[in-house]
Every structure is written in C-alpha cells, then in structure tokens.
C-alpha cells in the first residue's frame, strides 16, 4: 500500500508561532479556511510510495542534504495565486537558494509519483474566494521574518486529521559530496 509523503522546509519555532498568530487573526476575520491548521512550511515536493521504498528514499534524502550548508531565509512579502492561495513570499535571494536545493534534491529521488513545487512560498490560506482574499490582502501588508534553514523535513499524510505530520528530519551538514561519492564506491 502506498502512503502520501511531503518534503518541506519548516521554519524555527518563533517563526512558526508568528505565522500561527497570523492564521488565527485571519480566521477571526473570515472564519475557517483551508490551511488554517497546517504547520508553517515551504513545500519542496509531495509523493506517494510504499513503506518499503520510503527507507530507500530516506537514505537518498540524507545523502543529498548532508552536502548542503544552512541558509538564512527572509520572508518579506505577501502574494496570492489565482486559485485563492494567499502566502508569504521569501526574498528574491531566498527564493534562489531554496529553488537550488529543491531542484537538486528532487532530481536525486527515485520516485515515480511526484509533484514538485516550482515556486517556494509559505501558505497562509488556500482556496479563498475573492472577498476573503481581499480581506487577507488588507489585513496583512508588511512582514519581515527570517529563520536559519538547516534541515529538510519528511512528513507523512495522516488521513484521520487530514494533515501531514513530521516523521523525520535531515540536517544540512556541509559535507563534501566528492568524499561521499568516493566512499560509496567501495
């Protein structure tokens, strides 16, 4: 049987708390909405795979993320998509750094059923109608948050709560990838 998984960047606890406050503030104005209860994250990809294959995928993630160095992520704007998603936008430099990691990581995974996120963003709300989207745009106009991104998190979808839950993390260790390749041959 296949399960749904997600890889994501997750901010530090202070940033998570600030975003939670924003989500509650929006809920006070518009009521319940999609993503209201989800933990702050930036999706890298979502995929389906079996319990047997997830162990192989974990090894691939660990091998790749161990070569990354921690990066500072700045969240400095708001934006929305035509589908009603309202989100926090990282700075241009942060977007570039995140995209590099997202691309190099997802291309190393041996997964058939994968959705790759193409634009790094941190969702506040999804599927808002025009009126609710306008409310969100009026409520939130300025933001200046940052966090040190030093890990990638593997999350598994829990159908009973309809949310992804963290099941593992993979730290950026700034290890030399040439040593890893050399050592893996023997």
Q: Per residue of the chain (186 residues), give pLDDT as tens.
A: 899 999 999 999 999 999 999 999 999 999 999 999 999 999 999 999 999 999 999 999 999 999 999 999 999 999 999 999 999 999 999 999 999 999 999 999 988 889 999 899 999 999 999 999 999 999 999 999 999 999 999 999 999 988 999 999 999 998 876 544 444 443
Helical ranges in the chain per DSSP H = 13-30, 51-65, 92-108, 130-139, 177-184
C-alpha of 53 from chain center: 22
Rounded Cα distance between 67 and 108, Å, is 13
Task: Name 126's Cβ contacts closer than 8 Å, sequence gap at least 6.
Answer: 33, 34, 35, 83, 84, 85, 86
Q: Where are the domains of the chain?
A: 2-184
DSSP, res 175: -
Q: Looking at domain 2-184, what is its CATH homologous superfamily?
A: Cyclic phosphodiesterase (3.90.1140.10)
DSSP, res 98: H
Does residue 137 contact residue 22 with C-beta atoms inside 8 Å? no
3-state helix vs strand vs coil in the chain, percent to 5: 35, 35, 30
């Amino acid at each position: 049987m296949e399960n749904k998984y997600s890889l994501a960047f997750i901010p530090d606890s202070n940033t998570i708390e600030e975003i939670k406050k924003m989500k509650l503030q929006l809920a006070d104005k518009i009521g319940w909405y999609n993503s209201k209860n989800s933990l702050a994250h930036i999706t890298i990809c979502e995929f389906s795979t079996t319990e047997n294959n997830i162990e192989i995928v974990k090894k691939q993630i660990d091998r790749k993320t161990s070569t990354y160095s921690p990066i500072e992520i700045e969240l400095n704007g708001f934006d929305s998509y035509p589908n009603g998603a309202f989100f926090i936008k990282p700075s241009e430099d942060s977007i570039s750094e995140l995209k590099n990691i997202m691309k190099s990581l997802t291309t190393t995974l041996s997964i058939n059923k994968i959705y790759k996120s193409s634009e790094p963003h941190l969702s506040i709300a999804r599927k808002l109608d025009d009126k609710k989207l306008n409310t969100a745009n009026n409520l939130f106009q300025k933001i200046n948050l940052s966090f040190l991104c030093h890990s990638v998190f593997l999350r598994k979808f829990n159908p009973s709560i309809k949310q992804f839950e963290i099941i593992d993390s993979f730290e950026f260790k700034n290890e030399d990838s040439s040593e890893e390749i050399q050592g893996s041959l023997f």
